[in-house]
Amino acid sequence: MTARLNPFAAAPSLMKDWQTISLAINESMEPTLVGLVEIRASQINGCANCLNLHTVFARENGETEQRINLLAAWQEAPCYTDRERAALGWTEVMTRLSEGCERDSAYRALQAQFSEEEQVKLTLIISVINGWNRIATGFGIWVDPTEVKPTAARVSA
């Protein structure tokens, strides 16, 4: 797919602001957890660009191939912590809002593993990656991870 529009050229100030806030939000929690959330939401949304970027960045942050490969079946895979499972369950619900997913059990798991502040942070992280997924898929963006600076790369989906 070729790019339809470069949003950074079309609205540079807003995209710079979006990138800055995205980075700040993502840096508010542990990188491994953020990486799992970014990958899972990108899988659900079918965003090849974000999957490509965030699997590379997750590996750079020490994530294993096994955990990356099993992420699509995280409910059945024994390699995720209870905290990660709660985050992934909340990611599923927040990413699939239009599907009417059952939120109560996911929220109870979230409450058991995350403080109120962390719940807000995680929800913002999920919102950020869903936003990047929509920008990348909507405009046909493809970014080579080797061309992105490591700190900016985490949000330059």
pLDDT tens per residue, range 90-138:
999 999 988 877 899 999 999 999 999 999 999 999 999 999 999 999 9
- Of the pLDDT bands very low, low, confident and very high (cuts 50, 70, 90), residue 150 is low
Q: Residue 155: pLDDT above 50?
A: no
CB-CB contact of 31 with 87 (8 Å) = no
- Of the pLDDT bands very low, low, confident and very high (cuts 50, 70, 90), residue 153 is very low
pLDDT tens per residue, range 8-56:
999 999 999 999 999 999 999 999 999 999 999 999 999 999 999 999 9
Is the full-model pTM beyond 0.95?
A: no
CA–CA dist 101, 126 (Å, integer)? 16
